[in-house]
Amino acid sequence: MDNVLKILNSVYEGWTVEHRFDSINRFRFDFAHIRLKIAVEMEGGIYTGSGHAKTGTYLKDMRKYNLAQLKGWILLRYAYGQEDKIPDDIKKAVEMRKKEGKRFQNV
Give the tens place of pLDDT for each residue, 26-44.
Answer: 999 999 999 999 999 998 7
The per-residue pLDDT for 47 is 55
Residue 25: pLDDT band (50, 70, 90) is confident
User: Mean pLDDT over all residues of the chain?
Assistant: 88
Check residue 43 and give its pLDDT.
87
User: pLDDT (tens digit, 9 = 90+) per residue, 55-85?
Assistant: 678 889 999 999 999 999 999 999 989 999 9
Query: What pLDDT score does 56 carry?
Result: 73
Confidence band for 104, pLDDT divided at 50, 70 and 90 = low
pTM for the structure as a whole: 0.84
What percent of the chain stands above pLDDT 70?
Answer: 84
Encode the chain in three state secondary structure: CHHHHHHHHHHCCCCEEEEEEECCCCEEEEEEECCCCEEEEEECCCCCCCHHHCHHHHHHHHHHHHHHHHCCCEEEEEECCCHHHHHHHHHHHHHHHHHCCHHHCCC
